[in-house]
Amino acid sequence: MYTTLTVATDSAGIATITIDVPNRPMNVFTPALMADLDAALATVKADAAVRGILITSAKSSFIAGADIKDLVTFFDRGLPASEAFGYSQSLSGLLRRIEICGKPVAAALNGLALGGGLELALACHHRVLTDDPKAVVGLPEVKIGLLPGAGGTQRVPRLIGIAAAAKFLTDGSSLAPAEALKLGLVHVVAPKAEVAERARQWLLTSPEPSAPWDRKGFRIPGGAGLSNVAVAQTFAIGTALVTKMTQRNYPAPAAILSALYEGTAVPFDTGLRIESKYFATLLTGAVARNLMRTLFVHKGELDKLSRRPADVPKQSLTRLGVLGAGMMGAGIAHVAAAAGVSVVLLDATAEQAARGKAHTEKQLAREVERGRRSADSAAEVVGRIEATTDYGRLVGCELVVEAVFEDRNIKAEVTRRALEVLPKTAVFASNTSTLPIGGLAAASSRPAQFIGIHFFSPVEKMPLVEVIVARKTTPATLARALDFVGLLRKTPIVVNDSRGFYTTRVFGAYCQEGQAMLAEGVDPALIENAGRIAGMPVGPLAVTDEVSLELQLRAARQAEADLGAKFVAPVSMPVLTHFVDDLKRLGRKSGGGFYDYPTDGPKRLWPGLSAQYPRAAVQPSLETVKQRLLHIQALEAARCVEEGVVTTPAEADIGSILGIGFPAWTGGALSYIDTLGVATFVADCERLARSCGKRFRVPRGLKARAASATPFHSAAPADSAA
């Protein structure tokens, strides 16, 4: 009768609805599940022998949420807000029917309950959650540009108060069982084996079959309405914080506050309709589409190593060599050891190697201090790292990552020395961020087993790894590299070899444009603020200081030496040369670059900038500066596609967001073009080329896309849930 659940009624009159959506690792709300739940509810409601209803799951989790595969297509299909409103109301109505069915309903949460899964639980009159630390509960919809559309914005404030609800819903964070109990989202936390029975025992007490808000005299905890000073402050402060946090690029947090404000001032069922109205506006908007498609659907595919050659057998990695114990090498050694791999961390001196290992000791000591790891576990991780100067210790390493100074000669030397002792089957990887892998592979006697594995700093925190395939790199080598990245639980993108690869080229365009505007006389504060307001993590001048002006100039000069007459100087070359060669301001590492770094306070823009680059009498608008900073990056991403450096739009988008901080609301560099419209973007760039320079000229392939109205993303995404 049902395809997604079973119903069984015991001798005591407790009907247990067990959800088990087929062919899914986790239960998600599908149309079939919604229909089955509705039918099952009608059956048990009409059965006079049923005195209580227990809802649970046959899987290791309860329900992970809605099926993003269904939601992400609303915008692309051009569906009206009325249809999105209807979608929300259908699920909201189903949960409301459970809530007012006239019989007590308990949820036995045997695992995590997120999104619609928690909303279903909140519609039950009693909630028992397993004490498993992995059994988190939360309403993370804000992270995909939405709000809870099945009653979450209305039930949560009526349970825990408006102030607590506003924080919980706009954060989108998940709560561990003890936290959920303390906040009041669940009634009982119990061992997993007892969850269903504890819920059943509650039903046997013949409890009141209604929610608190359906009872006469109910009042929202802490009060509601603007006449309540505390509530008024919550919305006033919350709106200001949301504006600061989102720069108005993300509409979901503001919509959540509006749904809370309006919905808690009216009867519950009216509040549900208000919630659906805001949900519909968000679901049919581009931001939600962008976030869902890139950060959940496409990221999920890449996390599953979708680019791994399928015909190469998987091999385990037990011993890793890391050449260079500086910041990057130490970080790589740390994450590998934390993943259970034995690491040989090698540097030129014993002191440098030991310093690299000490990095892990310091990082883990903080985790122990904060209660995130036991002292024994930390000791095990540290014990997996061997700090050495002896290349002979690389014997037995299946993979080596070179992370030495960005100098081709130094890299060639360590490559040759490592290959003298490495097994014939070992893969050699370079962590370079700019130097072509094919050129570095020339120093290897085994170029087929040479590949680029580009980590981002700080390695422990940055989720992206850029895997660079050279002309002679074999599929087997690529597979080994991706297996390594997967072991570290990072997201890989695969790109083809070129100078700067993909992420460095796009990142460089951002930095260079900021410096070009500085040279034009644009107020440096305007440049920096525009970058942040557009959604970048930091302004282009600040991030250049962090990377160092010296490093960027060295990369440009290396390219000039390599390319000769073919070299095209970046627009930032005069500024970099002046700061490094003339002013000796190399960036943060030297104590000053575009910013000063006083010991007694926060960094500040260097007052001397105005003397070096006098401010123009007429300043561009904020929108113009934002557009230049985002368009130049997206244009470089499009060039990388046209040149075959990056081969899938999904990887271009993921790489831009996770690697260099391109604003997530856009969905990534290519989704940004699609969202604006390819023709509009091309027209913008042609105008900027006339006013700012030839770096904004549009490549032939992008013009063809504009003429044929062909976006970068056109195929329907694969399955996902949240």
Which residues form the catalytic set?
Answer: 454
- Residue partners of 261: CB distance under 8 A and separation at least 6: 235
Secondary structure letter of residue 358 according to DSSP:
H
Rounded to 10°, the helix 540-547/503-520 angle is: 120
- Whether 665 and 291 have beta carbons less than 8 Å apart is answered as yes
Q: Is the peptide bond before 104 cis (omega within 30 degrees of 0)?
A: no
Tell me, rounded to whole angstroms, the distance of Cα 581 from its chain centroid. Answer: 39
- Whether 322 and 336 have beta carbons less than 8 Å apart is answered as yes
Tell me, rounded to whole angstroms, the distance of Cα 503 from its chain centroid. Answer: 16
3-state secondary structure 387-449: EECCHHHHCCCCEEEECCCCCHHHHHHHHHHHHCCCCCCCEEEECCCCCCHHHHHCCCCCHHH
User: Strand locations in 473-571, DSSP E?
Assistant: 491-496
Read off the amino acid at residue 106.
A
- Whether 514 and 539 have beta carbons less than 8 Å apart is answered as yes
Phi, psi of 719 (to 5 degrees): -65, 145
- Residue partners of 601: CB distance under 8 A and separation at least 6: none
Look up residue 242 and give its two tokens. 């949301």
3-state secondary structure 243-293: HHHHCCCCCHHHHHHHHHHHHCCCCHHHHHHHHHHHHHHHHCCHHHHHHHH
Look up residue 570 and give its two tokens. 């970046």
State the Cα–Cα distance between residues 629 and 540, nearest whole angstrom: 9
- Which residues on neighbouring strands pair with residue 137, listed in sequence order? 113, 175
Look up residue 631 and give its two tokens. 């368009």
3-state secondary structure 636-689: HHHHHHHCCCECCHHHHHHHHHHHHCCCHHHCCHHHHHHHHCHHHHHHHHHHHH
Local structure of 596: helix, strand or coil: strand
- Residue partners of 670: CB distance under 8 A and separation at least 6: 634, 637, 638, 641, 649, 652, 653, 712, 713
* Residue among 614, 558, 606, 599 nearest 584 (CA): 606
Look up residue 368 and give its two tokens. 């122990």
Secondary structure letter of residue 109 according to DSSP:
E
Rounded to 10°, the helix 252-263/268-283 angle is: 160
- Whether 452 and 468 have beta carbons less than 8 Å apart is answered as yes
Provide the residue count of the chain: 722
State the Cα–Cα distance between residues 345 and 401, nearest whole angstrom: 10
How many helices and strands (H and E) does the chain possess?
32, 21
State the Cα–Cα distance between residues 478 and 493, nearest whole angstrom: 11
* Residue among 328, 505, 513 nearest 434 (CA): 505
